[in-house]
Structures are given as structure tokens and as C-alpha cells.
Structure 1
Amino acid sequence: MSQTQAIVDSLKRELKAQGKTYAHVAKALELSEASVKRLFSSANLSLHRLDSLCELLGMTVAELTNKAQGQQAISQLSQEQEQELVDQPKLLLVAVCALNRWQFHEIVGTYQLSGAECVQLLAKLDRLRLIELLPNNRIKLLVDRGFRWLPNGPIQQYFRQQIQSDYFAADFDGPGELMLFQNAMLSPSANAIMQRKIESLAREFNQLAEEDKNLPLDERFGSSLMLAIRPWEVQSFQRLRRPGTGKQFPTA
């Protein structure tokens, strides 16, 4: 198999894994779906188009190439693996630290973990293939830049509980804090545009984290960004609606 074909096959697998269809690709490349199918069947993708598709997937061309060469970094854990993290708070803590590129001495120097305990937790993450534990307790991440928790999986459910009980228990007027709440009437097409912009902002958030990863720990702060949009009406308003006036947002 040629290297070009291997990259195209890897691209197809990644598109499928992320639930992206030929329609998504056609929109990203400003082509017809028939043209997209011809591009894939002929394995004739220009670098510009390949870069556009990697942007659609939230990954770099280098990451896609590594996957094509069999150096596959994981983009998600299984349901069982996420549940194992949630069931062991210290393991989840060390996992989040590792994902944010903390070093061994920074973890044990910040949290109430002995060196031996931290090594045991890192060894579990190694078994989960989230990291590779190297000599001298060095940590090598085995996830790609597009790594994300399972939608509505154990980790998202856990953090959703924390968001409701802790994250929003703030006035959002301190240093580094901002919260905006907007409400308007949008058409389905405008809603779709906002969703693409939110996805783009999330990719930029991850890119900035990537650029900052080598800064000293005391110059980096745990930052949580939550973006959402949904057709929604306050329940007290819904109860005042006249019968038969409810609306159903169209499905794709």
C-alpha cells in the first residue's frame, strides 16, 4: 500500500470515528459529495485539502500521518476505562495532571500523594494506555491532540455534577473569569453556524494549551471553558404556553 493511500485510509477511519460524513467533507472543501467520493477513491488529495480536512477533525496533518504509519495515539477511552477513573478520585486527579503535561515531581509536590503512591497511579494509567511511564518516572502522553472524553460518558457526567455544584458557584467577576449568557431567536441555519463557531473556538482553546505546554507550571493555570447552545425555553415560560403552540427543532 502506498503512503498516500495509507493516509487516505487513516483519514476515512478518523472521519467515521468522529461521525463525519461525506456531506461534512463536501462542505469543508466546498465540493459536491460526488467530487469528494472521487477524491477518496483516487487517493488524490492536495496538501491544502488535506489540511482543511484535518482542521475539520481537530487534528494536525502530522497526527494523521502518525496514525497512518501505525503510531496511533488514542482519541478516546472506553466506557469501562472512564468508569475506572471516576471510581478512583486520585487516579482521575493524576490522569488530568498528566493530560495537562504535569511532571512527576510537580504532582507529588502539589498534592497529598507519596512518591510510591503516585508511581502506582501512573502505572495504572500506563495500563490504560493513556500514558507510557518511562524511566525516572517521566510521563509520555499516548493521546492525540483531539483526545476527548466520551459524550455523556462517566467523565462528562462526573464533571457535569461538579459544574452544577461548584463551577457556577461564582460571580465570574474575578481575574481570569468571564461568563456571558445570550438569548435570542435563531433559525436552524443560524444555529448550525454558531455550532461551527463553537467547535472552532474549542479547537483554538486546545491549540493555545498545546502552545503553552512547555511553560513552567507556575505560569499555567487550570482553565475550564464551557460552550453550549441549544433550543431552550425556561420551564416557567413553557408552562404559560397555549396548547398547541410548542415548536420542535428540525432534525438533520
Structure 2
Amino acid sequence: MNSAHELVKALKRELKVAGITYKDLASRIGLAESSVKRMFSAGDFSLSRIDDVLRVLKMDFAELSRRIANAQSLRRELSLEQERAVVADPKLMLLAICCISHWTFEQMVASYLISEAECIAYLLQLDQLGFIELRPQNRYCLKVSNGFRWRPHGPVMAYFRKYVCDDYYSGGFDGEGEMMMVVHGEISNAQATHFVERLQRLGQDFAQQHLTDQKVSDEHKRPYTLVIGMRSWLFAPFRELKRPDVPIRKH
């Protein structure tokens, strides 16, 4: 185990997978909900408190350690064959995206025209593909990292380019909480890498906010899709205006 931080992250993850809220945990270990929140926020756990939480989770410290080790080796992308299997069935790809967004089994069935039996069958497929680990009571744990991405030139991104991009960019991006910005400039390779890292953190922040706002009632939230991209590129009509003796610089 690398640090107390990894321990707290693992406990939070296991509580999430088990569907146990801080309020539920507090009642089971004899603490106020506010005390449990402070405990997780500060990462201040005594050994006896860790044992209390593990007892509620019905697991031991050895199992938690194994899951921490597994989480540290989560995959950042699928193989080409795995992506082909995902994209071959739109419902399977839909549920893969729901899993990345940490939807519960109940949310998937309630939101889409998929029966409980179908949903279980698809989750089993994702388990067999190594995308998730399916657990009792239709809970699951992701086997891909927070920095997971679809292969840049793989089947899923090809599907998105063919069926999704035009639909997404046809909007005006002028509604509440919407925007689109295109910025062009020339920067150093080192700074380009730095910006990519910042954009990755922004994507992770968005995903984390989705988790935090799951407790917000449906009438006070709406679905958003964040698309982040950065590449060395010049708009085609602009490329045609370049002087022939001035190369298009590649960063």
C-alpha cells in the first residue's frame, strides 16, 4: 500500500460500489454523518475505524490491499479487439459509457430501453472484456483508469466521428452552462504537453463532479457532455492560403 491517500480512495471506491452512503456508514459504525465526512475528508482513520468500515463492506484488509494494487495497474485503453467487440453492439457501447460515468445498474435500466436481464448480460460481457469487474447485486468496479481513453484511431473513435461529431457540433453552444471556444496559436512542445496534462485534469474534475452531484435531485441537474481536444492542426481553408514557400509547422 503506497499511502494513506490510496487507502482513503480505495475505501471511498468500495463504498460507492457497494451503494453505501456516508449516512448509511455512520449509522452502522455508530458515528454522526458529519464525523464520517470529516474522517474521509481529512484521511484521519484509526486502525479500529478502518476495521469498522471493512466490517460494513464485508471484506478484510488483505482483500482491500489487493484491490488497491489492482487499481494502480488499471488499463488506460482497450485492445483493438476489445474495442471492436464494444462498438459491434450499440447497447454494449452505451453501457460501457454509462460505466465510465459511474452510473448504477438501477440508473441504466431506468434511463434506457434495456431490461434488467439485458443489462446484466451486457455487464457480464463488459466483465469478460476486462472493462469492469461485476460484483454481487449488480454492482461493478471499473478496471480502467481515470485517464482512460478510447484508441485515437480505433473503432470507437471511428464510430464517434461517423455518427456523433456532426450531431454534437450542430448545436449552438449558447444554452445555460454551454460554450465552445476555438483558440489557435504556436507554443513550445513542452508547453503543449503541459496544456494536455491540464486538460486531462479538467476531464477528471468533470467526472468527479458527476459523482458528487449524483445526490442532487433530477430537477436540479441536466446531462452535459464535455469534449476536449488539442492537436497540431490548421483549418483547411487557412492551409490553402499559406504561401507555398512557408511550411506548415508541426509541433
Q: CA offsets, 1:197-252, max 9 Å, x none? A: 3234234334434544x5357366443222233333332333233322123325xx
1:89 to partner: Cα distance? 0.4
Show CA shifts across 1:144-169 (max 9, x none).
33332223222222223344221101
1:155-198 deviations in whole A, cap 9, x for unaligned?
A: 22222334422110100011221111223344555544433432
Q: Which amino acid aligns with 1:165?
A: D
Deviations 1:42-63 (A, max 9, x none): xxxxxxxxxxxxxxxxxxxxxx
Question: 1:152 and 1:109, CA in 2 relative to 1: closer, same or farther beyond 3 A?
Answer: same
1:9-54 deviation digits (Å, cap 9, x = unpaired): xxxxxxxxxxxxxxxxxxxxxxxxxxxxxxxxxxxxxxxxxxxxxx
User: Are the aligned partners of 1:102 and 1:217 in contact in 2 as well (CA < 8 Å)?
Assistant: no
Counterpart for residue 137 of structure 1: 138
Aligned equivalent of 1:215: 215
Indicate the percent of aligned positions where both proteins have the same amino acid: 34
CA distance in 2, matches of 1:138, 1:175: 34
Give 3-state SS (helix, strand or coil) of 1:139's partner.
Answer: strand
Aligned match of 2:58: none
- Counterpart of 1:161, as a letter, is K
- The alignment status of 1:178 with 2:179, answered yes or no, reads yes
1:60 aligns to what?
none
Asked if the contact 1:188–1:249 (Cα under 8 Å) also holds between the matched residues in 2, the reply is: no
Are the aligned partners of 2:134 and 2:140 in contact in 1 as well (CA < 8 Å)?
Answer: yes
Match of 1:79 in 2: 80
Residue 89 of structure 1 is matched in structure 2 by: 90
Give the drift of 1:85: 0.9
Correspondence for 1:10? none
Once the two structures are TM-superposed, the CA of residue 130 in structure 1 deviates from its matched residue by 1.8
Matched residue, 1:195: 196
* Shift, 1:66, TM fit: 5.9
The 3-state SS of whatever aligns with 1:172 is coil
Structure 1 contact 67–73 (Cα < 8 Å) conserved: no
CA distance in 2, matches of 1:134, 1:192: 38
Equivalent pair of 1:131/1:139 in contact (CA under 8 Å):
yes
Alignment of 1:215-234 (within 5 A): 215=215, 218=218, 221-234=222-235
**Number of the residue aligned with 2:160:** 159
Alpha-carbon distance between aligned partners in 2 of 1:233 and 1:73, rounded to the nearest angstrom: 35
CA distance 1:115–1:183, change in 2 (3 Å): same
Q: Is the 8 A contact 2:102 2:211 kept in 1?
A: no
Match of 2:150 in 1: 149
CA distance in 1, matches of 2:148, 2:189: 29
| Counterpart-to-counterpart distance in 2, 1:194 and 1:142 | 27
Residue 82 of structure 1 and its aligned partner are, at CA, apart by 1.1
Give the TM-score of the pair, scaled to structure 1: 0.61
Q: Does 1:121 align with 2:114?
A: no
Q: Which residue of 2 aligns with 1:111?
A: 112
Alpha-carbon distance change, 242 to 107 in structure 1, aligned in 2, over 3 angstroms: closer
Kindly provide the amino acid, as one letter, of the partner of residue 168 in structure 2: Y
Mapped partners of 1:155, 1:217: distance in 2: 32
CA distance in 2, matches of 1:165, 1:190: 30
